[in-house]
Chain A
Amino acid sequence: MADTRAPERRGDPNVAVLLTWFLPGAGHLYLGRVGIGLLGLLVVEGLYALGWWLSGGRTFEFLDPELRGPLATLLTPEAGNLGAMVFQLRVAGFGALEPVPFPDWVAIGSLLSALSGVLNVFLCAWAHLDARSRRVGGAGPHPIVALSAAWLFPGLGHWLQGRRLRAGLVCAVLLGLFAAGTWLAAGTNLSRERHFYYWSGQFLLGAPALLSELVSGRPPVTGEIPGVDVGLLYACMAGLLNVLAMLDVYGVGERRWLEEPAVAASEAVA
């Protein structure tokens, strides 16, 4: 007779996600996974703290004054680490009214706090998965490893799962779109200070966007750029479309992870 019992759970997945969203690692602590919880707290909040220190807590001053408001930062990667973002808004807000020069390391600091938000989203997904199952094995890489890889480099998550054709096509389409956008915008898309919200979308493309920004040194605008609007749209869409790839990778990874080993192994071979 088939076993129809519900899979063994550690706790409520929604509670685990909400706890992690507000305080990194809290969801895992709630589930009794103290080591992962403390490590997550240390890494995610450590990145945010380092980013705050380097930027002087002034990341949100990149936002144009007319766009500032209580919900304005919810469309930033930092929103993935909601507790830290709300704390920063309460303590530092959008800065002083009079213009003050930014610290030298503000761009790197801003990047680290954004990275903290993305990592905490992965931690939320991990807490949700851990709450639903005590399984610690399955075919292919851990779903969170595959998800992180899919963010880090378009197509890498699919590649780790053995879906090579899809990996190549996702990589070609998204990197091509990002490269075309960067060319049309003459590299001016590679600056959070200049294009706050477009940068947030572009950040979801992972390493290609980050490395391009670091290598380019954020080129200044020296004249009219005819294709800048299209370029910004292309680069931002490349990052947003990578979210579809990440969801695809996570969905398949989770299904394989939670399947019975024999079924998952036969699927991986096929």
Chain B
Amino acid sequence: MSLVQHVLYFLVLSFAIVVMSAFYSEPDDGPALHSIPRRYVVFVAACGLVAGIMLLLERLFASVS
């Protein structure tokens, strides 16, 4: 499976997580819907940051090459 496919699968699942957490956090539909784009960007960016840190740590401390 290619990296692009992995990223697409991740983005789909992220969307579901963000939508459900937005509805859980906001009691009213309007604010919940409006908060989804911002939450989505923050979620994806934060996951990207964690992935980047993990790759960096792997490169620095866990490389077997």
B12–A180 touching, CB < 8 Å: yes
CA distance A54 to B36 in the complex (A): 46
Chain B residues within 8 Å of A230, by CB:
9
B20 CB contact (under 8 Å) in A165, A176, A226, A241: A241
- Shortest Cβ distance from residue B37 to the other chain A in the assembled complex, whole angstroms: 15
Chain B residues within 8 Å of A252, by CB:
27
- A-B contacts counted at CB < 8 A amount to 44
Chain A residues within 8 Å of B15, by CB:
173
Given contacts A230-B9, A233-B13, A234-B13, contact A163 B20 (CB under 8 A): no
Given contacts A163-B29, A180-B12, A230-B9, contact A169 B19 (CB under 8 A): yes
- Shortest Cβ distance from residue B42 to the other chain A in the assembled complex, whole angstroms: 18
B20–A173 touching, CB < 8 Å: yes
Given contacts A180-B12, A226-B1, A230-B9, contact A170 B29 (CB under 8 A): no
Chain A residues within 8 Å of B19, by CB:
169, 173
CA distance A92 to B24 in the complex (A): 40
A177 CB within 8 Å of chain B: yes
A244–B20 touching, CB < 8 Å: yes
Query: How would you classify the secondary structure of chain B's contact residues: helix, strand, loop or mixed?
Result: helix
CB-CB contacts below 8 Å: A135-151 with B: none
CB-CB contacts below 8 Å: B1-34 with A: 1, 9, 12-13, 15-17, 19-21, 23-24, 27, 29, 32
Chain A residues within 8 Å of B12, by CB:
177, 180, 234
Chain B residues within 8 Å of A238, by CB:
16
A237 CB contact (under 8 Å) in B1, B13, B24: B13
- Shortest Cβ distance from residue A231 to the other chain B in the assembled complex, whole angstroms: 10
A34 CB within 8 Å of chain B: no
B23–A169 touching, CB < 8 Å: yes
CB-CB contacts below 8 Å: A211-270 with B: 226-227, 230, 233-234, 237-238, 241, 244-245, 247-248, 252
CB-CB contacts below 8 Å: A143-167 with B: 163, 165-166
CA distance A165 to B27 in the complex (A): 12
The closest CB in chain B to the CB of A165 belongs to: B29
Residue from the set A174, A233, A244 with the largest chain B CB neighbour count within 10 Å: A244
Beyond A166-B29, A170-B20, A226-B1, list 6 extra A-B contacts (CB 8 Å): A177-B16, A180-B12, A233-B13, A234-B13, A237-B13, A244-B23
